Structure 1
Amino acid sequence: MPEAPLPGAPELRPVTFDILAEALRRSWADMKRAPFFGAVFAGFYVALGLVMAWVTIATGQSYWLIFAAVGFPLIGPFAAVGLYEVSRRLDQGRAMDLYQIFGVVARQSKRQLPSISAIIIFMFLFWFFIAHMIFALFMGSMTLTNVSTSFEVYLTVNGLTMLGLGTVVGAGFALLLYMITVISLPMLLDREVDYVTAMITSFQTVQENLLPMLAWATFIAVVTFISLLPAFLGLFFTLPLLGHATWHLYRLVSEPG
């Protein structure tokens, strides 16, 4: 029988750098104890990234990357829940049953996870709209140039301004997305709570523990960016590491003592 989620949002302890370090230690232990599941869930991301990169190169149509960006946040929370469930079972000493673990992931489609996935997708689409606006604002008046091959246009005053503004705005979107999901996603697996309450709790947790949680966000951004460079293959390591660590971070701050 599936385990019934606990009701309501938990009381959360302050986040410290020691807790972040402990979350990473437990994550590494989970990766060594259950490497198969980390490879399976990371494989969804790697496969999608490689397919979309191939389609983009083969067709020369960069708009395919938009569909990839929409697909990533769509499957991301479900892949993360799978890793959370693996860590939860390891903590409880329960069997690593393939059918039951994927069953937990499937059952989230009937709970609150689709709603928060829709919020994530909406934010990504809105970011694409804003990014196109910024591009048109600074590059629309320039002489018609293929920006995919003539990289010197980015070194002009308009190009550098566009890159700077786009980076700031994009970082703001990424920070907001991080603040509303870092605690809410594992909470939605662990608790019977609505997605709005989960997002508010997550946002407040980051707000009240700004320094360690911003350090955690920076760590996630850096290791994820590095893992994308070798043809997405680094995600086989970083996604399980970050997925298990996110679950343990949530458990460490939600359990007393």
Structure 2
Amino acid sequence: MADVKGTAQPQGKRPGALPEVRALTVADIRQSLAEGAADFARCPAVGLMIGAVFMVIGMAITLSLLVLHEPWLIYPFAIGFPLVGPFAAVGLYEVSRRLEAGQAPTLGEVLRVIWAQRRREVSWMAFVMLFVFWIWMYQIRLLIALILGRMSFATLDRFVDVVTTTSEGWIFLGIGHVVGAALALVLFPSP
């Protein structure tokens, strides 16, 4: 049974009831990947369109760094990844929902569902992800200044060399990963 917004309501559940949270296992991940691959095989257009959006953002990041020599452009393009993610998930979930209901999803229908999410909680989730991503980007800049501040790395090759071959670089990577993991735990807490 679907509600007014077009999202499915579980059978036997009253509206507003909290969902049951289960522990995630490796078998669950395998099953999800298999079901996602099966859904993609039945309706590849939406998956390819969403993949194309991510590919264009990735190409823009690469071009801004390697071809245009404008590394500052990486920030706005990189911000697109966490903003696009929740909407991409809505589209993929909608394809699976329609296939499970025995309907043949079209790209237009799925795009309408994605567009409708801009007025719902998904927009707030994208904003929260953007905010945490922004904090992460600034903590990286702070760590570069505190740990690698006296080192010179004007090129990407030199930066990779400094980060991977010096003790300061290893400290930078270690602390950066710990801080990034803490931010990820804030954003995606475990039950």
Query: Shorter-chain TM-score category?
Result: 0.7 to 0.9
Uncovered stretches (5+) of structure 1, i.e. residues with no partner: 180-202, 208-257
Q: TM-score, normalised by structure 1?
A: 0.64
Q: Which residue of 2 aligns with 1:72?
A: 81
Corresponding residue number in structure 2 for 1:162: 172
Residues 37 and 83 in structure 1, CA contact (< 8 A), matched pair in contact too: yes
Distance apart, 1:40 and its partner CA: 0.9
Runs of 4+ in 1 over 6 A off after TM superposition: none
Q: Which amino acid aligns with 2:150?
A: S
Alignment partner for residue 89 of structure 1, among 69, 94, 98? 98
Equivalent residues in 2 for 1:205-224 (5 A)? 206-207=190-191
Distance, in Å, in 2 between the alignment partners of 1:148 and 1:18 is 40
Partner of 2:12: none
Aligned to 2:182: 172
Task: Report which of the two has the higher share of helix.
Answer: 1
Partner of 1:148: 156
Alpha-carbon RMSD across the aligned residues, in angstroms, is: 2.1
Once the 2 structures are TM-superposed, how far is the Cα of residue 145 of structure 1 from its aligned partner? Answer: 4.0
1:36 aligns with 2:39: no
Name the amino acid aligned to 1:149: D
CA distance in 1, matches of 2:108, 2:145: 49
Letter in 2 for 1:123: V
CA distance in 2, matches of 1:112, 1:175: 20
CA-CA distance at 1:3 after TM superposition: 2.5
- Alignment partner for residue 130 of structure 1, among 139, 147, 151? 139
Partner residue, 1:112: 121
Flag the structure with larger Rg.
2
1:147 CA drift (Å): 5.0
Q: How many residues align?
A: 180
CA separation of 1:133 and 1:88: change in aligned 2, threshold 3 A: same
Question: Corresponding residue for 2:33?
Answer: 24
CA displacement 1:13-53 (0-9 Å, x = unmatched): 44333333222221121111111211011111001111221
Query: Structure 2: 5+ residue runs without aligned partners?
Result: 10-14
Conserved 8 A contact 1:52-1:64: yes
Which residue is equivalent to 1:240?
Answer: none
AA aligned to 1:160 is: W
TM-score (norm 2): 0.83
Cα offset, 1:58, TM superposition: 2.5
Deviation readout 1:160-190 (Å, 9 max, x if unpaired):
211221122223323443x2xxxxxxxxxxx
